[in-house]
Amino acid sequence: MTESGALAKGSLPRILVVGGGYVGLYAALRLQRRLKRDEAEIVVVGPQPYMTYQPFLPEAAAGSISPRHVVVPLRRVLGRCRIVLGEARSIDHERRVASVVTLATAEQGDGVLEIPYDQLVLAPGSVSRTLPVPGLAEHAIGFKTVEEAIGLRNHVLEQLDIASSTRDAEVREAALTFVFVGGGYAGVEAIAELENMARYAVRYYHNIRPEDMRWVLVEATGRILPEVGEELGRYAVRELRGRGVEVHLETRLESCEHRIAVFSDGSRLPTRTVVWTAGVKPAPLLASCGLPLDPRGRLRAEATLQVTGADGAWAAGDAAAVPDLTAEKPGVLCAPNAQHAVRQARVLADNVVAHLRGAPLDEYRHAYAGSVASLGLHEGVAYLYGRKLKGYRAWFMHRAYHLSRMPTFNRKARVLAEWVLSGLFKREIVSLGSLEHPRAEFELAAGGGHGRGRRGVPRPEDGAGPDAGGGPREGGDHG
């Protein structure tokens, strides 16, 4: 399918930005600020109409921040850009054409939308890296999107409801056991925030005590949070264990079939909750671009953020292997984190503008400032400019740093307001698991066949009770 009239390429050079994450949003925002209207047109292609600020996902899951405030609507902030909601399936850089599947092409069944371009900014980000663990695809949930964060919050609260209402000891034990796989930022912050939330929530359950719950963090290496250093990593382990979180180091998840988590040390835990945060990998799109990749599947990029050997192609963030010019040893690459992605996006945009104007390009240089991580309310670790912080100071620094990096004043103000309100009022502990099946209530009222009733619970006529089925991805148990 050729492009629609709304996307017909005019006489102006077209800059196509693939991806609406950190790099895509910040690069497009910088481009529209620096380019005059008669210099170029900017088209942004992304699968979602918003950018998710992922460092705030744990707080969104815990209810400290409203989920809608951790996302930035692309159409609102990129007023001078054309936004195409779709997924880029392939890119032919020799022809300078990207093939995109949109909601319209899927509905019409007429193939893909081909979008020509002059300059290409590749920033599709990354996807969860999974392993061939039996039962993982059927029972686990990731923690990379705002939808997964909302679903996990609902799921955890629903497990408390299940445990409170059942007389079956095995069902209760499985409902109150929460397994998180991966000791990086996502896994540690997620388990810390959700344990904190659940500990608060059980005060409203007459037959559940905090010590009835089991929170388990599994990490394949010998340490967690390697970015903050070994000393702070050990402190984080002690802090989590002091709150009752079981931290299993040098341990792998080998199976999670039949609601049983089996670890490499031989232990077995019945559980209805497995959260997978064990790393990411480059987006599959990169493999179909015909552009040079490094052994990890990332685009090979120069310090100017140009794709090596590909004129008119640029890359940054998780999708790019960018040399770190501030490193002492040659050949070191920039870490794939938000700190580099945001700064690379600005340099990339400036270089695209310079390229269009025939000006010299700049090289990306940024000495790593450090890392911050939250361990739940009022607890954290931080390693900034050689200084190590623990406890409340680190937690405050975590919030201050990420608030400063949140795009737009509107979102900053909303997040800050919610933090203030959460300090004045009690937490909200309502599960909205029925959001997973918004038509279930109407279908039940209309008598429209079999399916799920309220909150996704199987109907009695289906021959299954509320505890039937698989793990978090099935019905109301997913939340």
pLDDT digit string, tens, across residues 159-212: 999 999 999 999 999 999 999 999 999 999 999 999 999 999 999 999 999 999
Question: Any residues with CB less than 8 A from the CB of 356 and at least 6 apart, and which?
Answer: 13, 35, 39, 40, 119
Rg (CA), the chain: 24
Residue range 94-116: average pLDDT? Answer: 85
pLDDT in tens, 375-425: 988 899 998 877 899 999 999 999 998 998 888 898 999 999 999 988 887
**Would you state the pLDDT for residue 424?**
81
C-alpha span between 307 and 301 (Å, rounded): 4
C-alpha span between 265 and 250 (Å, rounded): 9
The pLDDT-based confidence of 11 (bands split at 50, 70, 90) is confident
Q: Out of 102-111, 138-147, 217-226, pick the least confident.
A: 102-111
pLDDT in tens, 57-86: 999 999 888 888 999 999 999 999 999 999
- Per the CB < 8 A criterion, the answer to whether 379 and 389 are in contact is no
Tokens matching residue 337: 């984190």
Over 70: is that where the pLDDT of 452 sits?
Answer: no
C-alpha span between 259 and 173 (Å, rounded): 11
**Number of Cα atoms under 13 Å in the Cβ half of residue 17:** 31
pLDDT in tens, 227-284: 888 899 999 999 999 999 999 999 999 999 999 999 999 999 999 999 999 888 889 9
Residue range 103-122: average pLDDT? Answer: 85
**Would you state the pLDDT for residue 464?**
39
C-alpha span between 12 and 202 (Å, rounded): 60
The pLDDT-based confidence of 427 (bands split at 50, 70, 90) is confident
**Number of Cα atoms under 13 Å in the Cβ half of residue 272:** 30
pTM of the model: 0.85
Alpha helix (H) residue ranges in 2-101: 22-34, 57-62, 74-77
Query: By CB neighbour count within 10 A (0-12 exposed, 13-18 middle, 19+ buried), where does 65 fall?
Result: buried
Average pLDDT, the chain: 87
**Would you state the pLDDT for residue 467?**
41
Handedness of CA 120, 126, 132, 138 (dihedral sign): negative
Q: Out of 310-314, 337-341, 435-439, pick the least confident.
A: 435-439
**Would you state the pLDDT for residue 460?**
43
User: 471 vs 403, which has greater pLDDT?
Assistant: 403
E-strand ranges in 208-257 read 214-218, 245-248, 253-255
Residue with tokens 């939330």: 197
- Per the CB < 8 A criterion, the answer to whether 270 and 262 are in contact is no
Q: Out of 14-23, 128-137, 354-363, pick the least confident.
A: 128-137
- Per the CB < 8 A criterion, the answer to whether 96 and 312 are in contact is yes
